[in-house]
Amino acid sequence: MKKIIILLMLVTTLFAPAVSAYKIYGSGNFSCGIWLDSSEAKDKIHQELQSWVTGFVSGASFYVGPTAKHTDTKFMFSRIDNYCQKSPLDSVGQAAASLMYELARSTK
């Protein structure tokens, strides 16, 4: 029970859509527009962004619990694509945080 309460507290503070609650480092600061453009070009930037997303999800899952245990990268990248198409000016970090919020809600 204690683990669930901690998970819920962390999810609401770390992964809520308000990105100003934490600092995004590295490639997560790239815009969703860059995510979409680099995806079409299938270039090294997109590989870097995908790597950043998987690292973010892995790190967040380690910290808050196995929220991404029953998913794969295809699902994650599809969700990032959807988010970025709706909000191309947001950062990849915001899209990844939204993904983690969604994954955390689905594990309840």
Bridge partners of 31? 91
Overall average pLDDT of the 70-84 stretch: 91
Q: What is the domain count for the chain?
A: 1
Please calculate the CA angle 86-91-93 and round it to the nearest 5 degrees.
Answer: 115
**Per-residue pLDDT band at 92 (split at 50, 70, 90):** very high
In angstroms, rounded to a whole number, what is the distance separating the alpha carbons of residues 26 and 58?
A: 16
pLDDT for position 31: 94
Domain that holds residue 70: 2-106
Check: CB of residue 3 under 8 Å from CB of residue 61.
no
**Per-residue pLDDT band at 1 (split at 50, 70, 90):** very low
In terms of Cβ atoms closer than 10 Å to its own Cβ (0-12, 13-18, 19+), residue 37 is middle
* pTM for this prediction: 0.75
pLDDT for position 40: 78
Overall average pLDDT of the 65-86 stretch: 85
Whose structure tokens read 């480092």? Answer: 25
pLDDT for position 18: 47
The tokens for 21 are 């609650």
- The model's pLDDT over 51-67, given as tens digits with 9 standing for 90+, comes to 999 999 888 887 776 66
